[in-house]
C-alpha cells in the first residue's frame, strides 16, 4: 500500500513576494483579513502552519480607510504608559488624525496568531500614510482586493 508523505515547507525553500495594496475606500476589517492571509502565506499551496512562509505587504493611503456603522465615534484604542493609572484611550476619529497607520496595524495584528511566528509575520507589514512607500527596490506587485 502506498502512503503519501505530508508536505512540510523548509525555511530555505520559501519564495517571498512583495505586494502593494492601496487602502483607499476599503473597510478596515475586510482589508485586514486579506492582509493577514498574505502575511501568513495561506494563499500559497506550500502553506505550513509552523513555518513563517508568508509574503511582504506594503499598504498605502491608510488614512483613507473606512469604518462601518458608528465606529468612528464608538470604537476606542487603548494603550498603557507603564505608570500607575496609565491606561489611555482614543476614539477611532482621533486615532485617524494622529496615527492613521495604527488603525490598520492593530486590525491586522488582531488577526494574526498570538505566538512568536505571528509577531515575526507582523514585522513584514509596512503601513504608509500617502501614496509613496519607498520600497521600489523590492519590485512589489500591485494587489487589488
Average pLDDT score over residue span 132-145? 93
Residue 14's closest CA among 77, 56, 61, 69? 56
8 A C-beta contact, residue 59 and residue 18: no
Per-residue pLDDT band at 86 (split at 50, 70, 90): very high
Please tell me the distance from the alpha carbon of residue 27 to that of residue 114, in angstroms, as a whole number. 23
Q: Which fold has domain 16-67+100-142?
A: Ribosomal Protein L13p; Chain: A; (3.90.1180)
H/E element holding 113? none
Task: Work out the percent of the chain whose per-residue pLDDT is above 70.
Answer: 99
Name residue 45's beta-bridge partners.
none
Helix pair 28-40, 100-110: axis angle to 10 deg: 60
Please tell me the distance from the alpha carbon of residue 126 to that of residue 136, in angstroms, as a whole number. 13
H/E element holding 96? helix 92-98
- DSSP letters, 53-76, are ---EEEEE-GGG-B--TTHHHH-E
Q: What's the pLDDT tens digit per position in 11-32?
A: 888 899 999 999 999 999 999 9
- Residue written as grid cell 507603564: 82
**pLDDT score, position 22:** 97
Amino acid at each position: 500500500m502506498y502512503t503519501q508523505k505530508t508536505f512540510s515547507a523548509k525555511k530555505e525553500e520559501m519564495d517571498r513576494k512583495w505586494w502593494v495594496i492601496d487602502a483607499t475606500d476599503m473597510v478596515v476589517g475586510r482589508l485586514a483579513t486579506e492582509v493577514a492571509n498574505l502575511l501568513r502565506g495561506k494563499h500559497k499551496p506550500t502553506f505550513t502552519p509552523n513555518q513563517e512562509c508568508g509574503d511582504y505587504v506594503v499598504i498605502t493611503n491608510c488614512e483613507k480607510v473606512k469604518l462601518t456603522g458608528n465606529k468612528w465615534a464608538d470604537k476606542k484604542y487603548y494603550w498603557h504608559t507603564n505608570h500607575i493609572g496609565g491606561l489611555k484611550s482614543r476614539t477611532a476619529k482621533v486615532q485617524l488624525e494622529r496615527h492613521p497607520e495604527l488603525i490598520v496595524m492593530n486590525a491586522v495584528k488582531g488577526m494574526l496568531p498570538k505566538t512568536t511566528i505571528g509577531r515575526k509575520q507582523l514585522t513584514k507589514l509596512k503601513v504608509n500614510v500617502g501614496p509613496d512607500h519607498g520600497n521600489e527596490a523590492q519590485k512589489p506587485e500591485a494587489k487589488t482586493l
